[in-house]
Amino acid sequence: MQVVEKKSVMTKIDGNITTPIGFQAGGIHCGIKRKRLDLGYIYSTVPAITAGVYTTNLFQAPPLKVTQDSIEKEKKIQAVLVNSGNANACTGDQGLQDAIKMQSLFAKKLDIPDHYVAVTSTGVIGVHLPMEKIESGINEILHDDYVGATQFEQAILTTDTGVKNICVQVVIDGKTVTIGGAAKGSGMIHPNMATMLAFITTDAAIAYEDLSAALKEVTNQTFNMITVDGDTSTNDMVLVMANGEAKNNMLTKDHPDWTTFVDGLKVVSESLAKQIARDGEGATKLIEVQVNHANSEEVARAVSKSVISSNLVKTAIYGTDANWGRIICAVGYSGQPINPEQITVQMGPITVVEKGLPYSFDEEEAKAYLQNENVQIFIDLHQGESSATAWGCDLTYDYVKINASYRT
């Protein structure tokens, strides 16, 4: 009897965080910012199993503490409330009370328990929230005029130049499962969670422990592999809400379609991570650094992040200068056990270093390649079988302009 191997199918669709069954979102201008939308929400018709990863900054903002405590109670939430323009960070006990009040007000509006609401904030640090404006916004936000994924995507932005979203579908137990995502992030972006917020919704039925493990694994391969400027912020996190409305059999690591789901989660996360990296403040290019043939994945990650974090590499790419010496320098100070005499470096298709030594190349051809919006750097360590990829952007004059006047 012939055995037919089952092939997993993943489809990228024109959707968003409200495409999975049972999710709604919206956004409103409540007055935190002068004109733009600044208060957004996601709502599931039923409580959703929820997992999160959070900033590593020791100055963790009050909203994150409230959200983590809420998820811990039942491993599920039903709504997320986000404000932009004010981070509610370094605001002491008043900041904590404000975050709790935000949660309570929105829970009452939705008629759900307080701990079913996650809250988060992004924006200027050290300023108390304008709670009267936020309360007024909460009272109005569920109105039909403010419903829509686009409104939510716009409401969470700070210095971003545009919204960030993606949606994919996979087949689990013969049923269509949808995974949608939205994110914000432009500056203060660095590996190990930075000033970014990412929200992922799915109608998959999945066990909490396995969802949490999958999110951590995928985050290490995606969100923790981007950098814009080396700064790690106080507020930021990735949340995944899974409400089970696709009615598949419960997903666990032992489910035959487990890898299909994880692959979908990774595609969504990687896309959002790359959109954040490309939208770095003042950026003109997305830079991808791929390290191959390392002794371990940890080595490959460390080397790729070292190169993508180098301001000298980033400024060289901005200036379309094929200065491979800056790349070699960043590899060398990554702190990893590498053999400098074995390294090969390519800028796109152009080899610039071979076995640790300069390789003859056409400077004009290299300059022309670096003028592309997407620039790839390939580093072959010739030491093992592991690989990793990191993403970032070039460093421009506009980055200084934007951040020199961020509060004004």
**Paired sense of beta strands 386-393 and 226-227, if any:** parallel
**Separation between Cα atoms, residue 361 and residue 348, nearest integer Å:** 12
195 is catalytic: yes
Which position among 195, 202, 219, 232 bears the catalytic label? 195
Q: Point out which residues pair with 54 in neighbouring strands.
A: 237
- Residue 77: burial class (beta carbons within 10 Å; 0-12, 13-18, 19+): buried
DSSP string for residues in 95-135: HHHHHHHHHHHHHHHHTS-GGGEEEEEEEESS----HHHHH
DSSP 225: G
**Separation between Cα atoms, residue 330 and residue 153, nearest integer Å:** 35
**Separation between Cα atoms, residue 399 and residue 7, nearest integer Å:** 45
Task: Detail the DSSP E strand segments found in 146-192.
Answer: 164-172, 175-185
Do residues 331 and 291 make contact, with C-beta atoms less than 8 angstroms apart?
no
DSSP 144: G
Q: Point out which residues pair with 197 in neighbouring strands.
A: 184, 237
As a dihedral over the C-alpha atoms of residue 176, residue 117, residue 199, residue 239, rounded to 10 degrees, the angle is -90
Residue 44: φ, ψ to 5°: -105, 140
Identity at 280, one-letter amino acid code: G
Identity at 379, one-letter amino acid code: I
Active site (catalytic) residues: 195
